Chain A
Amino acid sequence: MRNLRLRWKESYSPILLVSPAIVYIFFFSIYPTLTAIFESFQTPLSSNTLSNYQGLIFFHLTNAIENTLIVSFGALAFQFFLAFIIAGLLAREFRGRRVFLTIVILPWGVATIVAAFVFSNIFPVSPPFGGYMNSFLALFGLPPVNWYSGYNSRVLVLILSDSWKNTPIVALILASGMTGISQEIYNAAALDGAGPIRRFLFVTLPNLRNFILIALVIRGISEFNIFAIPLVLVEYNPPFLTTLAYEFYSSTSSIYYSYAASTVLLAIVLVFTLVALKLRRTA
């Protein structure tokens, strides 16, 4: 009898311990999410309608999706590029390594809105040819650039501004993966005559696959949610899914557009994550 009660306690009390967290998550995350999805198909006058989505298409939903994807993947590529270099450095022992690690981690702690503020001074909208990046270019006699003149340069500014704060996470994940690769494999590869690039392609990358996928999922998801940076730097032009949702959120009659835009955002995040998980599984 006593044994039975113990068994019951053993198997159910862990669930009891986890349940407050689950209840909390249900109320504050899952329930509102379902509400948002449901409301995206309502209007003040009708229900079960696609009119909010049609309205959004008029307001360039497709562009917003495109921009969200372009900036997200652009930023991911840039962040991985920097992160590989940093992780490669961190995998070695050298004087000042700890200081370097600290410096590299710092931006992670800085608030996104502060990053947006600082980059709005490095790449200012006004004056158009001013700001810190242009005065830096001038040191080398290079001509000033108007960063907001066209779509491409706007996207570039967004990618650069976003990457400063977010490269550290990617670098940390990759670095923890690299310390797991034994030096012997590298030595063996070097003996076989593999140069640094081949070693990177055929030793580092395959061994890091899981870590790369983790970093990709983690960063990818928050990349799609990019909000404060475009809001400060380019407002609504080009539009993103987040800024589109925000643009319509304040008015009673148009809040349904916000629900629709955030539902699309959620769908994209879900698809991306499922694909990444699938990749990992088949890998």
Chain B
Amino acid sequence: MKSLFAWVSLLSAQTPASLKVNWARAHLALILIIIVVVGAAAGGGTYYILSMNRGSTIFFYESLAPPEVDFFQHQLVPQFEAANPGTNVILVNLSGPDDTASVVEALVKGNSVGPSLVGIDNLVVGEVIYANAVTDLSPMLSNIEPSSLITSAQKMIAYEQQVYGGATYFVPFRSNVPLVWYNITAFTRAGINLPPANTTQLLADAAKLKTAGYSTPIMFQGGGRDASAATELYQWMVQFGGNPFMFNDTGDVATFQYLQTLSQYFDPGYINGYWGEYTGLYSGSYQLLDYQWPYIYSQLTNATYKMTDKNLGVYPGPAGPSNSNHVLGGDVLVIPKGATNLPLVEKFAKFLLDSQAQTETLLKLAWVAVNSAAYNNLPGNFSTVGNALLSAIDQGVFLRNPAPWISTWDAQIYDAWTQIVEASPQPSPSQVHTILNTENQHLYDYLVTNYGTQTAQQYEQNAFKPISVS
């Protein structure tokens, strides 16, 4: 009975020649090892010394895009550190909202929170609350909260206080509204002067663009990663009058049927479309990007892509048949359970919500400020993207209900999306209905198994729905 060991020996038996000690090489290798080890030790030493010198340090966990990180590290944080000598803020940039949730839970479970503040997507905040990983901020709310909040932020706090029996686990920090972007030059060439005002016009304009030679004019966030498709679809379903969580009410079904029609104009890359996607507007592979967060404005107009307001258009997007409400994305602040040095953490939270910082992030990063004082005295030349944002908010915004099982819903709506729109051939209207019914049934079953019958019944009775905040 030969075994694996015999195989290995069989092979090794043929190797001696190559393994004979070759002194020159051995020395070279040893020198290399020494370099590597010394390098690592020196590096580790520096790291250690640096971490010893931290003094009063706070860790701020966020998940930011590269230009946002740059702004935070080089402009915002230094202001706080200058105003509070001896303090040191370390920005820990995590890879995505899901990651933030699991990291917060890990820190709390491992009892290694330290002085930390976390900015987390309002979408997944329900998961960390459910996991019992965040502090009730009620006692310190008066120290943190700005004197005047924008309406949506007020409603958000009122909502959580009602849902969580008076507790306040999070305060809104920055908001974000997805916008629709288009290539003005291409639109003009196709004879379109204004971007489509509603979904009917969107179809018509897409056809015009196609006739003008732009064969795949529309980019859609159809990718599965980081809930890209899920977030975009949520807004569409709301604008069609549906409750996205149900999957199969009239508005939901209508949304999918409309998107099936629209998909003939999609850029084929849409199946992987996500929130890092925008370069196609520059390279010309599509002419309308539906939809994307405002941060891409600074990307597309930077030294690399050099687009300007002459060829880059941005607006709130076409209105749906039912309304033109926008999903209010963005992050809220939470303090993980067991955080230390709370006074300093509170101070930093207050700093982030003050009108000074909020005005700067509004101007530089196009984040919707939650502190209403940030909107006083905006410069006259407030950017194009800023104006688009403000008008989107005026039209109405809503929040995705931060149910703790939201990531399961995300996976399911993405599943429905791939079956209904990405599939080729696309299913017939009655098949679409069946697919959506199955999704509804599955989520119900999932809730029974993982959250209990009561939650499942509440779900079926439409208790979980978008929160209107304006």
A binds B: yes
Give A contacts to B, CB under 8 Å.
Answer: 43-46, 49, 51, 55, 58-60, 125-130, 146, 148-150, 176, 179-180, 210, 214, 234-237, 247-254, 277, 281
CB neighbors of A among B117-134 (8 A): 124, 127, 130-131
Q: Would you mind naming 23 contact pairs between A and B with Cβ atoms under 8 Å apart? A: A44-B451, A55-B442, A55-B446, A55-B449, A126-B267, A126-B277, A127-B284, A129-B285, A148-B269, A148-B271, A150-B424, A176-B14, A210-B10, A214-B11, A234-B272, A236-B414, A250-B407, A251-B102, A252-B130, A253-B130, A253-B405, A253-B451, A254-B411
Closest Cβ–Cβ distance, residue B60 to chain A (whole Å):
20
Number of A-B contacts (CB under 8 A): 111
Interfacial residues, chain B to chain A (CB-CB below 8 A): 1-2, 4, 7, 10-11, 14, 98-99, 101-102, 105, 124, 127, 130-131, 216, 223-225, 267-269, 271-274, 277, 279-280, 283-285, 404-405, 407-408, 411, 414-415, 418, 422, 424, 442, 446, 449-452
> In angstroms, how far is the closest chain B Cβ from the Cβ of A276?
11
Q: Is the CB of B449 within 8 A of A60?
A: no
B450 touches A251 (CB 8 A): no
Contact between chains at B225 and A148 (CB < 8 Å): no
Q: Are A236 and B285 in contact (CB under 8 A)?
A: no
Residue of B nearest to A214 (CB): B7
How many angstroms from the CA of A277 to the CA of B4 in the assembled complex?
9
CB distance from B210 to the nearest CB of A (A): 15
- CB-CB under 8 A from B415, the residues of chain A are 58-60
Closest 7 CB pairs of A and B: A127-B285, A250-B98, A126-B269, A236-B224, A251-B407, A128-B268, A125-B272
| With contact pairs A148-B268, A252-B105 given, residues A46 and B449 touching in the complex (Cβ less than 8 Å) | yes
* Cα of A129 to Cα of B274 in the assembled complex, Å: 18
A125 to B283, CA, bound (A): 13
- A247 adjacent to B285 (CB under 8 Å): no
Q: How far is the CA of A150 from the CA of B363 in the complex (A)?
A: 42
User: Residue on A with the closest CB to B96?
Assistant: A250
Query: How far apart are the CA atoms of A234 and B418 in the complex, in Å?
Result: 13
Min CB–CB distance A235 → chain B (angstroms): 5
Contacts of B274 in A (CB 8 A): 235
A139 to chain B, nearest CB (A): 20
Chain B residues, CB < 8 A from A235: 223-225, 272, 274
Which single residue of chain A is at the shortest CB-CB distance from B452?
A45
Whole-angstrom CA separation of A210 from B451 in the bound complex:
52
B273 proximity list for chain A (CB < 8 A):
126
B283 A127 Cβ-Cβ under 8 A:
yes
Interface residue from B98, B283, B408, B450 paired with A45 (Cβ < 8 Å): B450
Instruction: State how many angstroms separate the Cβ of B317 from the closest Cβ of chain A.
Output: 20
Given pairs A127-B285, A128-B269, A236-B225, 14 additional interface contacts (CB within 8 A): A45-B449, A45-B451, A58-B415, A59-B411, A59-B415, A125-B271, A127-B283, A128-B285, A130-B283, A148-B272, A210-B7, A236-B224, A250-B98, A254-B405
How far apart sit A13 and B7, CA to CA, in the bound complex (Å)? Answer: 25
Do B268 and A247 touch (CB < 8 A)? no
Residue of A nearest to B406 (CB): A251
A130 contacts B285, C-beta separation under 8 Å: yes
Residue contact B101 to A126, C-beta cutoff 8 Å? no
B268→A146 contact, CB < 8 A: yes
Q: How far is the CB of A64 from chain B (nearest CB, A)?
A: 12
Set A44, A149, A237: member contacting B268, Cβ < 8 A:
A149
Known: A214-B7, A235-B224. A248 touches B411 (CB 8 A): yes
Q: How far is the CA of A277 from the CA of B7 in the complex (A)?
A: 11
CA–CA, A253 and B99, complex, Å? 14
Q: CB-CB < 8 A to A234: which residues of B?
A: 272
Choose among A49, A58, A127, A236 the residue that contacts B269 (Cβ–Cβ < 8 A).
Answer: A127
Q: Chain B contacts of A146 at CB under 8 A?
A: 268
A43 to B408 alpha-carbon distance, docked (Å): 14
Least CB distance from A214 to B in Å reads 6
Docked CA distance A271–B348 (Å): 55
* Residues on A with beta carbons closer than 8 Å to the beta carbon of B285: 126-130
Cα distance A254–B124 when bound, in Å?
13
* B407-A254 in contact (CB<8A): yes
In the assembled complex, which residues on chain B have CB atoms less than 8 Å from the CB atom of A253? Answer: 127, 130, 404-405, 408, 450-451
* A-chain residues with CB within 8 Å of residue B4 when the two chains form the complex: 277
Question: When the two chains form their complex, are residues B407 and A126 in contact, meaning their CB atoms are under 8 A apart?
Answer: no
Shortest distance in angstroms between A142's beta carbon and chain B's nearest beta carbon?
A: 18
What CA separation (Å) do A126 and B284 show in the bound complex? 11
Tell me whether A252 and B224 are in contact in the complex, defined as CB-CB below 8 angstroms, given that A126-B269, A149-B268 are known contacts. Answer: no
A248 and B101 alpha carbons, distance in the complex (Å): 13
Pick from A44, A49, A128, A247: contact of B267, CB below 8 A: A128
In angstroms, Cα B407 to Cα A277, docked, is 41
Complex formed: what's the CA distance from A236 to B414 in Å?
A: 10
Contact of B442 among A45, A58, A249 (CB under 8 A): A58
The closest CB in chain A to the CB of B228 belongs to A235
CA A130 to CA B286, docked complex, whole Å = 13
A126 adjacent to B272 (CB under 8 Å):
yes
Chain A's closest residue to B279 (CB) is: A126
A contact residues around B11 at 8 Å (CB) = 176, 214
Residue B408 contacts which of A150, A179, A251 (CB distance < 8 angstroms)?
A251
In the complex, the chain B residue whose C-beta lies closest to that of A234 is B272
CB distance from B215 to the nearest CB of A (A): 10
Chain A residue contacts of B102, Cβ below 8 A: 249-251
Residues of A within 8 A of B223 (CB): 235, 237
Residues of B within 8 A of A251 (CB): 98, 101-102, 124, 127, 407-408
Is B225 within 8 A of A254, CB to CB? no
A62 CB to nearest chain B CB (Å): 14
Contacts of A150 on B, CB cut-off 8 Å?
Answer: 424
* Docked pose: A126 CA to B269 CA in angstroms: 6
A179 contact set on B, CB distance < 8 A:
14
